[in-house]
Amino acid sequence: MQYFMQLLISGLAIGAIYGLIAMGFAVIYKSTGLVNFAQGEMTMITAYIAWTISTTVSGNVFVVALGAILAAVVLGLIIERVVMRPMLGEPVFATVMVTIGLAVILRSSINFIWDAYPHGLDVGFGRSIVRIGPIGVRTGQIAVIVTLLVLLAVIWAFFRYSKIGVAMRAVAADDRTALLMGISATRVHALAWAASSVIAGIGGVFFALSYDLSPAMFQLGLKAFPATILGGLDAVLGSGLGGLLIGITENLAGGYIGSGMKEVAGFAMIIVVLMVRPFGIFGERDIERV
Amino acid sequence: MRTGDFKQTYGELVTLVDSPPVWLWSALLVAGLIVAPFVLNSYVLSFLIIILITVVGALGLNILTGYTGLISLGHVGFLVTGAYAYAILVSKYQMHPLVGFLGAGLVPALASLIVGAPSLRLKGLYLAITTLAFSFIINTVILEARWLTNGARGISVQRPEIFGISFDSDAAFTYLCLGFAVLTLFATLNIRRSRVGRAFVAIRDNDTAARVMGINLHAYKLFAFVTSAFITGLAGALYGIYLSFVSVEGFPFLLSIEALAILIVGGLGSALGAVLGTILIVLLPEATRLVFSLFSAQIDAVFTTGAQELKSMLYGLVIILFLRFQPRGLVGAWHDLRRMWVNWPLRY
């Protein structure tokens, strides 16, 4: 039982990180209709910038957090303006391939700007262990679960009540009508990229806090795919919850079946889920009329 | 005055080539490729071999992504199954190399049924991600099935000997690859102009309309998967023989992206495009290295230390630039160039 609880807690913690990145996917999909294959790489770059701030400027938690968020916003805006906006109006396949190209470039640039060795992000927080009953949990793990839950609530309220949130939903539903109603699609896209970069970046920084920073971190993006597919590509909240589910499944499979299963449990799960519900658990069904 | 290229009968529309000079040029190209192994040194020959092998793989993916419009991010999965099927049959069980090649096609084709069947309900990006999932699952299965695949240690493969002809030397192996490349090229060109190929393109252009016209979507999508996996598996076997060692590390995920890059750069849905794209993408890192080494030795040093990173950065950049400025690929550019005098002053 204790083993099970231990697996469950660490599954929730890693699942919360997947969930954050998956929400990044969903925010972009919801407002632009694209899957951003460079999400994992953007996450990795934000985490590396956070590490650079912590080693060069100050190791204070708030300085690092603020710096990382600002960096993520700038990264998202630059990518949207330079790479994605010229592709506006092109077919989805072409635009998605552009994000794949972008992913390859960002991934290789890590080795040029930083190096290929693993680093620990140390902000004097996150690595100490708290005991809840018989189970030891790292403070960073608790923090990431709490952050995910808070962000889920904030984003739900944002899409439900704020004017910008409603505008984003309008662009997602029908960009032409939204344009006619006076919503600037480009501004909504820019905002979506910035928001997605920040949400996923937070996940990346937490990953660096609890584990280590390395050029293999882009694989987080691949791991978050099952999460967002499970929740539904257009369901932001569903993607967050999907992340938790994938994290738990992965850890339980790794703990009880074998370490090889841990790597692919998420992927195996989405193949099964997609057979039953091709649009994810919380995704909206796409109805075609002829 | 000739104002364009007009087809008057249905037969003209589906001929293999639309003008006799193309036959002449193709024959000259093949003759050149047959002479090439005698003339070229081994360094240049290695590029020729890689191009020929990659052409086979790219043509395989072209059937699925180019003709049928199903995006696959998991083609490296078929590549690695093909390579392992050949290695296990020939190196481990001492079967005839031809049996090995047959297995290298059939095993991925069977695997494609497993991944294709659940994919029939999926569209677009959901399908792309399912194929991605498949390629990761395949890698784990191979690593776990140690009794069959030696796990992470891999299997070493000898160059084959078929009917007394040894393909041990690089020159002989080039002929083997050339044979496969030419056969695949003819096979895909003929698929494209047959009833099946027309059904594929109809599904790509508008699947609802295709269904209304009486095309069995499930059957044709599965057929596209199987054919594509068969050809890609052959390319995998050839690549495994070329590397003389088959392991999961030899087939990184980047190969899937490279294959898509080839199709985009060449021009989606065109066999000629797949060939042109392969030549460009395979030679790109080498060409860039040559250009930079002319300028300074310092940049050359960066190439030797960060060669792999620079290579993948170039892929990324080339994919983005082509999608942005020449979405129809090299084939589109070639068509415009060919008709430049006819269409002048219009661009196309």
Q: What amino acid occupies position B287?
A: A
CB of B182 within 8 Å of a chain A CB? The answer is no
pLDDT (0 to 100) of residue A225: 84
Q: Has residue B301 got a pLDDT over 70?
A: no
Kindly state the average pLDDT of the residues B159-172: 77
Residue, of A144 and B296, whose pLDDT is higher: A144
d(CA A61, CA A206): 12
Q: Please, what sign has the CA dihedral across residues B115, B120, B123, B124? A: positive
Rounded to 5 degrees, what angle do the CA atoms A272, A9, A231 make? 35
Q: If you average pLDDT over every residue of chain B, what do you get? A: 84
d(CA B271, CA B133): 27
Q: With contact defined as beta carbons under 8 Å apart, do A48 and A110 qualify?
A: yes
pLDDT per residue over B9-56, tens digit each? 887 777 777 778 888 888 888 888 888 888 888 888 889 999 999 999
pLDDT per residue over B45-99, tens digit each? 889 999 999 999 999 999 998 898 888 888 899 999 999 999 888 888 888 888 8
pLDDT per residue over B210-226, tens digit each? 888 888 888 899 999 99
d(CA A276, CA A30): 22
First-last CA distance in chain A: 54
Is A274 close to B121, i.e. CB distance below 8 A? yes
Residue from the list A100, A108, A286 with its beta carbon closest to the beta carbon of B257: A100
pLDDT per residue over B101-128, tens digit each? 899 999 999 999 888 887 777 777 778 8
Residues 6+ apart with CB under 8 A from B299: B292, B293
CB of B130 within 8 Å of a chain A CB? The answer is yes
Kindly state the average pLDDT of the residues B234-253: 87
- In total, the C-beta contacts within 8 angstroms joining chain A to chain B are 120
CB of B136 within 8 Å of a chain A CB? The answer is yes
Is A225 close to B133, i.e. CB distance below 8 A? yes
Q: Has residue B230 got a pLDDT over 90?
A: yes
Q: Which residues pair with B162 in a beta bridge?
A: B165
Residue, of B147 and B225, whose pLDDT is higher: B225
State which residue of chain A sits closest to B115, comparing Cα positions: A271
Residues of B in contact with A109 (CB under 8 A): 309, 313
Residues of B in contact with A286 (CB under 8 A): 123
Domain boundaries, given as residue ranges, for chain A? 2-123+130-276
Tokens of A54: 């912590």
Question: Environment class of residue A101 by beta-carbon count within 10 Å: exposed (0-12), middle (13-18) or buried (19+)?
Answer: buried
A2-123+130-276: CATH topology is ABC transporter involved in vitamin B12 uptake, BtuC (1.10.3470)
The segments of chain A whose pLDDT lies below 70 read: 124-127, 286-290
Question: Environment class of residue B6 by beta-carbon count within 10 Å: exposed (0-12), middle (13-18) or buried (19+)?
Answer: exposed
Of B239, B257, B224, B182, the C-alpha closest to B62 is B224
pLDDT (0 to 100) of residue B1: 57
Is B316 close to A87, i.e. CB distance below 8 A? no
Instruction: Indicate the helix (H) or strand (E) that contains B307.
Output: helix B307-325
Q: Has residue B3 got a pLDDT over 70?
A: no
Residue, of A192 and B144, whose pLDDT is higher: A192
